A and B are shown apart, each in its own frame.
With several copies, the nearest count.
Chain A
Amino acid sequence: EDGGNAGGGGGGGNGEQPYIAIVSKGFQHQFWQAVKNGAEEEAEKQGARVTFVGPPTESDVEEQINMLTNDLAKSPAAIGFAALDSQSAEPLLQQAKSQNIPVIAFDSGVDSDVPVTTVSTDNKAAAAEAAKHMSELVGGKGKVALVVHDQTSKSGTDRRDGFMEWMEQNAPDIEVLEPQYGGGDQLESANITKSIISANPDLKGIYAANEGSAIGVIKGVEESGKTGLKLVGFDSGKAQVDAIRDGSMAGAVTQDPVNMGRELVIAAMKAIDGEELPKSIDTGFKWYDKSNIDDAEIKAVLYE
């Protein structure tokens, strides 16, 4: 392996450390920061060096391709990659393959035979879980709204479609309103939420598809003064956890981003060492609400 060289940035110091370049779908959001933290922790434990980059929004496909290109130029020992669009990355994945750099897909699958394994959770299934709880909370009927962070990215559409499909199949009496998109921006999501509430006085519940949307929804409901709405969130973070504790949000689905980061690095190290890996590694998701929020296994997957 010649990939272990520390780049000119001189972060590692130790030239022997294997270098894992991670190109994520995002960077600034808490979810991605949690993945990053998990990866960095694990790398430290294993004596590896990681870098973690991601485009500012989950629609900046070209930017992600540029980032992947740049990281490939550093000849890393392995690459972790969460594709915004599988197909666009295919030529670069092929290039990685020809340079003998193992690629580990994470977060969502990549339609390609290049990645040696995929560390992911099933967003659709997680969203369906949220739908199931929502249905129970509102008693199987009434109007439910969605505030989603993105209408084109895979995580956005999966979390939307998983919810809507479950409702369609299992809760015929629940009317799901046209999804609204707030770009994951708290303020915009809050404003959207208030509009939805104004326009639908008989609304029963709102589902928020990521952390930013969830904070916005919580704020919007609070500001509108409307009570009795059932809110179901996604991901974690302090604001959501607090809301669930004080009852303003009923519960949320969380994936385990920290663990995803860890598993990603573990898989990468194995790949570097030439070990066999399973086709996919599921990092799972969990439903949490007031009743189980302090359980050890839930606490472990929440990030603040």
Chain B
Amino acid sequence: MTALETPPRESVAGGGFAAVAKGRLQQLLAFASLIAIFAFFSVASPFFFTYGNFTAILFSTVVIGTLAIGTTFVIITGGIDLAVGTGMALCAVMSGVFIVNMDLPLVVGLVATVLFGGMMGLINGINIALLKIPPFIATLAMMLVAEGLALVVSDSAPIYFSEEPSYTKISTGNLIPGVEFPNAVLVLIVVAVIAGVLLTKTVLGRYTYSIGSNEEATALSGIDVRKWKIAIYAFAGLFTGLAGIMISARLGSAQPATGMGYELQAIAAVVIGGTSLSGGKGSILGTLIGALIISTLNNGLQIMSIPQEWQNVILGCVILVAVYTDILRKKEA
């Protein structure tokens, strides 16, 4: 089938030395786009290259980044998850219900929220793996249901965490003493590392790749693909729950109407990061770089005071150019 393709330049996770080096190279290439964008803005605006602005960029990457990490797993299996945006809103609302309305201890409320996200993922997984509903449809339906339920559960009003100052600290506090570095970014880094390890070093991750690469062959190898697919969707759902916490902690309130559109941004981050929508390959590092490319562009264009209607035009063009350069380089490497 690949007769027309250029011979293999890529490697998969966990390969030998040559493969690892090649893999790194590639990520460096995606990374190069990011660096180029950074360099450009640093020259173009004196306000871009400041510590404060860097943390601002990182901070603005947290929610999309968290969603995109979960989405990476789903997309590597060859699936898609449209429910992460409104699902996140529902999880935010649920965290409000757990922590404010039910007055559960903070930790319990947080765990319950993350698990609630996992449960939504579980339902997606069951619909997809057992009932064989195409992922696009199953998660589209979940997207609509979550959108509605977020309003129903919250009675269409935000839930405020004013009585829970430690809740907002999860996002805006500074765990590292003396350094202005928001906890939210730490959280993103930690979950990214965990997700990266799970994806490359564990059975869950390996099966995620195998299912995306050839689901039938994986099943015939004696792997219960249904069970693992459900597990992967449920696992990805945990990130939706976490994103719900991160966004409501940042805002100090659970906003039931936020979220629509975040799924597309998350998918975009994943795809710009080099994960193929047809499944079988991708990486967490790539996803993070993809998310950073988007948020850096948004930030830089605003800093440069480009009129907003032009910002999208430029954003679109830069994404095209970044991805195209990446394709060119891969060809030449």
Residues on A close to B: CB < 8 A? Answer: 5-9, 11, 27-30, 33, 51-54, 56-57, 59-62, 65-67, 69-71, 73-75, 85, 87-88, 90-91, 150-153, 157, 177-181, 185-187, 190-192, 194-196, 198-201, 212, 215, 219, 222-225, 237-239, 242, 304
Q: Please measure, in the bound complex, the distance between the C-alpha atom of A88 and the C-alpha atom of B160, giving whole angstroms.
A: 9
* B257:A66 contact, CB within 8 angstroms: no
Knowing A54-B308, A74-B47, A223-B172 touch, does A85 contact B156 (C-beta < 8 A)? Answer: no
* A70:B308 contact, CB within 8 angstroms: no
Quote the shortest CB–CB distance from A64 to chain B (angstroms).
Answer: 10
- Asked whether any CB of chain A lies closer than 8 Å to the CB of B253, the reply is yes
Knowing A9-B45, A74-B47, A199-B302 touch, does A219 contact B250 (C-beta < 8 A)? Answer: yes
* B308:A181 contact, CB within 8 angstroms: yes
Inter-chain contacts of B255 with A (CB < 8 A)? 59, 61-62, 85, 88, 152, 186, 212, 215
Number of interface residues of B (CB under 8 A): 44
* A201:B47 contact, CB within 8 angstroms: yes
Residues on B close to A: CB < 8 A? Answer: 41, 44-48, 50, 52-53, 56, 59-60, 63, 151, 156-158, 160, 162, 172, 180, 182, 247, 250-253, 255-258, 260-261, 295, 298-299, 302-309
Knowing A69-B60, A70-B56, A187-B251 touch, does A9 contact B258 (C-beta < 8 A)? Answer: no
* A191:B299 contact, CB within 8 angstroms: yes
* A9:B304 contact, CB within 8 angstroms: yes
Knowing A70-B303, A198-B47, A223-B172 touch, does A52 contact B251 (C-beta < 8 A)? Answer: no
Inter-chain contacts of B261 with A (CB < 8 A)? 56, 60
Quote the shortest CB–CB distance from A54 to chain B (angstroms).
Answer: 7
Knowing A62-B258, A199-B302 touch, does A191 contact B56 (C-beta < 8 A)? Answer: yes
Quote the shortest CB–CB distance from A143 to chain B (angstroms).
Answer: 11
* B304:A186 contact, CB within 8 angstroms: no
Q: A9-B44, A219-B251 are in contact. List 11 more A-B contacts (CB 8 A).
A: A5-B46, A7-B47, A51-B305, A60-B261, A61-B251, A152-B257, A178-B305, A191-B59, A191-B60, A198-B47, A239-B160
Quote the shortest CB–CB distance from A28 to chain B (angstroms).
Answer: 3
Q: Please measure, in the bound complex, the distance between the C-alpha atom of A212 and the C-alpha atom of B251, giving whole angstroms.
A: 10
* A199:B47 contact, CB within 8 angstroms: yes
Q: Please measure, in the bound complex, the distance between the C-alpha atom of A73 and the C-alpha atom of B41, giving whole angstroms.
A: 13
* A150:B302 contact, CB within 8 angstroms: no
Quote the shortest CB–CB distance from B176 to chain A (angstroms).
Answer: 15
Tell which of B41, B52, B162, B252 touches A224, judged by Cβ atoms closer than 8 Å: B52
Inter-chain contacts of A53 with B (CB < 8 A)? 302, 308
Quote the shortest CB–CB distance from B158 to chain A (angstroms).
Answer: 6
Q: Please measure, in the bound complex, the distance between the C-alpha atom of A121 and the C-alpha atom of B154, giving whole angstroms.
A: 27
* B251:A85 contact, CB within 8 angstroms: yes
Quote the shortest CB–CB distance from A225 to chain B (angstroms).
Answer: 7
Quote the shortest CB–CB distance from B181 to chain A (angstroms).
Answer: 12
Quote the shortest CB–CB distance from B62 to chain A (angstroms).
Answer: 10
* A56:B302 contact, CB within 8 angstroms: no
* A152:B299 contact, CB within 8 angstroms: no
Q: Please measure, in the bound complex, the distance between the C-alpha atom of A200 and the C-alpha atom of B309, giving whole angstroms.
A: 20
Q: Please measure, in the bound complex, the distance between the C-alpha atom of A33 and the C-alpha atom of B257, giving whole angstroms.
A: 11
Tell which of A52, A73, A87, A152 touches B252, judged by Cβ atoms closer than 8 Å: A87
Q: Please measure, in the bound complex, the distance between the C-alpha atom of A222 and the C-alpha atom of B158, giving whole angstroms.
A: 20
Q: Please measure, in the bound complex, the distance between the C-alpha atom of A92 and the C-alpha atom of B250, giving whole angstroms.
A: 11
* A187:B63 contact, CB within 8 angstroms: yes
Inter-chain contacts of A153 with B (CB < 8 A)? 257
Knowing A192-B302, A239-B252 touch, does A224 contact B56 (C-beta < 8 A)? Answer: yes
Q: Please measure, in the bound complex, the distance between the C-alpha atom of A185 and the C-alpha atom of B257, giving whole angstroms.
A: 9
Quote the shortest CB–CB distance from B258 to chain A (angstroms).
Answer: 5
Q: Please measure, in the bound complex, the distance between the C-alpha atom of A205 and the C-alpha atom of B66, giving whole angstroms.
A: 32
A-B contact pairs, 8 of them (CB 8 A): A8-B304, A28-B151, A28-B257, A53-B302, A59-B258, A67-B302, A87-B160, A194-B60
